[in-house]
Amino acid sequence: MRISTQTLFGASTATLQRQQAEFLRIGQQLASGQRVLKPSDDPLASSRALEVSQSKAVAEQYAAARVGARNALSQQEQVLNSIGHAITSAKTLAVQAASDTLTPADRASIAAELRGILETVLGQANAADGNGRYLFGGFQDDSPPFVRDGAGAVSYVGDANARNLRIDDARLMAVGDNGITLFQMVQAGAGYVATAAPGNAGNLTFTGPLVLDNSAPDHGSAFTLEFSVAGDSISYSVNGAPAQIWQAGEPVVFGGLSLKLDGVPAAGDSLVVAPSGGVNTDLFATLKNLVDALERPDQTATDKARLRNTLNTSMRELDNALDNILTVRASVGAKLNELDTVDEVAGNRILNYEETLSQLVDFDLVKGISDYSLRQMGLEASQKAFVDITRMSLFNFL
């Protein structure tokens, strides 16, 4: 076949250009470390890469959420820890105060210590994070959730919500507990609490109640014991049922419970024995009752009985409150553990994503460098060929 001079040059330059383009491409791949420089180089890999990098980014987003969750939970854990200590101290003080040998001055000093504890707990309940957001107000995190009125009563102004964070694909974690859960609730398993009516005129005191039979009829409901006195005979009625005679010193038994009673009630005195969820569950009210009772002078037998009864009630309530705080603390601890586990799993997942991403779009350097030298040689060879071919001309010999 005839070869025209134009074809000769054209074919050689086309080859040169092709070689150069390939050489440049490998050079770019080497320089960027990327095999896929633009989507058309490998459309499927590049769209896969987009999806994988989004999955990776989402995983990292969850990791950031976990950092936030861990901060919030650790902070909460510390606060709960110190509240737990405070309740334990209050319980110790209440036990001390129950001693009959204490002078009014001793009791006043215990009352002062308890007041200090009340302040500590209130301060912790109104704890805020670094941004000034209150920890235990539910969604109302912009003002202190516990406020005190003029009479010293503490009330909760937050709400009953808890903030959730998405810490993993399918895991929404509550990262805060509100004031209700922490300070105004008892665990479902908490037992009965007995409370003497504040207006009791006799010197009746109680110990207990003890649970005798938790399958007895009416067990689980609240009971009101009302006393009536006819001469020497003292009788009581449970929840308005027909009155029964009470033998002094004998425990009274009802609804599977046994309540030991001492002293002598006045007519019309009453006791309430109720599951702890149904009576006062507010830690602040408990502490305040305790302080108030200790600060009150105990001149008469009635006063002494009232103090003793309040101490008994409060100790039960403090036990329940401590249980509650410890339970919440345990759940916070469990969440922190869960965060560690999820972190580990997600860390592996992120590594996998990175590896996939790298397989999809990254350049194999070993292969790349050998290709690079190969292309370089190819280009040099075709340059040499171009020079040789174009130098050949019959005109050189004319």
Beta carbon of residue 95, minimum distance to another protein (angstroms, whole number): 39
Beta carbon of residue 390, minimum distance to another protein (angstroms, whole number): 11
Beta carbon of residue 143, minimum distance to another protein (angstroms, whole number): 9
> What b-and-e string marks burial along 277-295, b requiring 16 or more CB atoms within 10 Å of the CB?
eebbbbbbbbbbbbbebbe
Of the pair 99, 164, the CB lying nearest another protein is at: 164
Of the pair 27, 84, the CB lying nearest another protein is at: 27
Cα within 13 Å of Cα(328), Cβ side: 30
Beta carbon of residue 60, minimum distance to another protein (angstroms, whole number): 8
CB 75 within 8 A of CB 89: no
Of the pair 10, 277, the CB lying nearest another protein is at: 10
Beta carbon of residue 279, minimum distance to another protein (angstroms, whole number): 30
d(CA 66, CA 336): 9
Beta carbon of residue 7, minimum distance to another protein (angstroms, whole number): 5
**Rounded to 5 degrees, what angle do the CA atoms 299, 302, 307 make?**
80
Three-class SS of the chain: CCCCHHHHHHHHHHHHHHHHHHHHHHHHHHHHCECCCCHHHCHHHHHHHHHHHHHHHHHHHHHHHHHHHHHHHHHHHHHHHHHHHHHHHHHHHHHHHCCCCCCHHHHHHHHHHHHHHHHHHHHHHCCECCCCCECCCCCCCCCCCEEECCCCCEEECCCCCCCEEEEECCEEEECCCCHHHHHCCCCCCCCEEEEECCCCCCCCEEEEEEECCCCCCCECECEEEEEEEECCEEEEEECCCCCEEECCCCCEEECCEEEEEECCCCCCCEEEEEEHHHCCCCHHHHHHHHHHHHHCCCCCHHHHHHHHHHHHHHHHHHHHHHHHHHHHHHHHHHHHHHHHHHHHHHHHHHHHHHHHHHHHHECCHHHHHHHHHHHHHHHHHHHHHHHHHHHCCHHHHC
Output phi, psi for 319, to 5 deg: -55, -50
Beta carbon of residue 175, minimum distance to another protein (angstroms, whole number): 9
Of the pair 91, 166, the CB lying nearest another protein is at: 166
Of the pair 138, 202, the CB lying nearest another protein is at: 138
Of the pair 59, 243, the CB lying nearest another protein is at: 59
Of the pair 53, 327, the CB lying nearest another protein is at: 53
Beta carbon of residue 382, minimum distance to another protein (angstroms, whole number): 16
Of the pair 48, 115, the CB lying nearest another protein is at: 48
d(CA 171, CA 166): 6
Beta carbon of residue 11, minimum distance to another protein (angstroms, whole number): 8
Of the pair 158, 208, the CB lying nearest another protein is at: 158
Beta carbon of residue 191, minimum distance to another protein (angstroms, whole number): 34
Binding site for another protein (CB under 8 A): 1-7, 10-11, 14, 38-44, 46-48, 50-51, 53-54, 57-58, 61, 64-65, 68, 131, 133, 137-142, 159, 161, 163-166, 169, 172, 393-395, 398
Of the pair 60, 262, the CB lying nearest another protein is at: 60
